[in-house]
Amino acid sequence: MIQEIIAVLIGIIGGIFSGLTPGIHTNLLVTLLFSISPFLLTFTSPLIISVLIVSMAITHTFLNVLPAVYLGAPDSEGNSLAVLPGHRMLLQGKGYEAVTLTVLGSFLAIILGIMLTPLLLKFLPALYSSIKNYIGYLLLTISIYMIFRERKKFWSFFIFMLAGIFGMSVLNLNLKEPLFPLLSSLFGVAGLLISLKDNVKIPQQLITKTDIPKMEVAKAMSSAGIVGTFVSLMPGLGPAQAAIIGSQIIRLSDKGFLVLVGSLETLGMITSFIAITSIQKARNGAVVVISRLMETITQKDLFLFLAAAFITGLIAIFLSLNLAKIFSKLITKINYQKLCISIIILIIGMCFWLSSFLGLFVLVIGSFIGMLPSLVGIGKNHLMGCLLLPVILFFLL
């Protein structure tokens, strides 16, 4: 028990670092952790290291909204859509309220995921068996829907295909960590460059009691439960696509949408633990590493992961809201443009460290592609073609 508690606390520290640092994802940290796992296993067990990874991943889903809202810099596809209403509220002096709504969604997602666990363990294998031969067609249908719901259909199709071809090219390069420059460029550096171009000025932030619309929260969580379960079966689909599908099922205000976005990334992590247990399919980097560390993941292990996720969530709420207060006070006192430049330099340094000059080349090309949606006025979700198109072609060809 002591080892498990220590693992949770260390995982939270790792999640704080990755969540607050734009361009740094848990996939990077868990990959580094896996590389030193032979050394760590001389002191502890694969299960304890896995609990650490669970805690880190859950903490990340809570805290990564802070740079998304306050800096306009999402860590990956996971919270890219939080930038839109979140940054809009920041420019109204309501950044703290935006964070509160996403954090509420994240914690409710843990509770919802735990409640759905018995049903998913029972029905997920049969559900997956019934649709696994049609995954490519389902992903293609969803992608077409995403394109045609846009007013500027040509641009949405063009950017989806451009990002898809770019993604296939990068994934076929001899890069140690291809997802880091790929996602950091499309969803990180590109957004920061747009902020620099627009010369954004941040107004004084209000830290007041958040008015939580209970009906909007109920609608958002209902949508999350339906869509989150479906997306857990679909490789290549992330929280960004799930949020758009969910918001089409049930119409939401900006506040409800932030609750939905906050819930889907955390729920996606919870359902990933269930999926690796029930259908032996890993849906994200954290779960891939857990599956490599542990030969088999039993239901007993799953319940331990869920307990660790719940405890982590309780601590992450406190951390997120208190850090949001600090961010709200500091954001108006610092030079926003210099901050954006510093973050871009950090991402460039990490990219070079992980992938050398080839990674920097990917970062430059991806950053130009990533700016296109903002410049032509369409949703950033079409950039997820970088992962969707390769997956669709894999299943259909």
CB 166 within 8 A of CB 366: yes
Give mean pLDDT, residues 17-36.
Answer: 76
Burial 163-180 (b: 16+ CB within 10 A, else e): bbebbbebeeeebebbbb
pLDDT at residue 363 in the model = 92
Rounded to an integer, the average pLDDT of 204-211 is 78
Q: How confident is the model at residue 360 (pLDDT cuts 50, 70, 90)?
A: very high
Predicted local confidence at residue 240, as pLDDT: 64
Q: What is the pLDDT of residues 104-136, one digit of tens each?
A: 999 999 999 999 999 888 888 888 888 878 878
Determine the Cα–Cα distance for residues 262 and 65; give it in Å rounded to an integer. Answer: 8
Helix H or strand E encompassing 25: none
CA atoms within 13 A on the CB side of 311: 19
Backbone φ, ψ for residue 232 (5° rounding): -65, -20
At residue 63's C-alpha, the angle toward residues 143 and 349, to 5°, is 80
Per-residue model confidence (pLDDT) at position 307: 95
Residue 326 neighbours by CB under 8 Å, 6+ apart: none
3-state secondary structure of 104: helix
> Which tens digit of pLDDT belongs to each residue from 236-279?
666 766 776 777 677 777 788 888 888 988 998 898 888 888 87
Task: Using pLDDT thresholds of 50, 70 and 90, give the confidence band for residue 310.
Answer: very high
Percent of the chain past pLDDT 70, that is, above it, reads 90
More confident residue, 63 or 287: 63
In this prediction, residue 77 carries a pLDDT of 46
Confidence check: pLDDT of 308 > 90:
yes
Mean pLDDT of 271-300: 83
Residue 285 pLDDT grade (very low, low, confident, very high; cuts 50, 70, 90)? confident
Question: What type of residue is 345?
Answer: I
Cβ–Cβ under 8 Å, residues 238 and 387: yes
**pLDDT value at residue 382:** 85
- pLDDT tens for each residue of 370-379: 999 888 888 7
* Residue 82 confidence (pLDDT): 46
For 315-330, what is the mean pLDDT? 92
Q: What is the Cα–Cα distance from 164 to 75, expressed in whole angstroms?
A: 19
3-state secondary structure of 330: helix
Q: Mean of the per-residue pLDDT values for the chain?
A: 83
Mean pLDDT within 60-83: 67
Which position has the higher pLDDT, 90 or 318? 318
Which 3 state secondary structure label does DSSP give 298? coil
Mean predicted confidence (pLDDT) in 158-163: 94
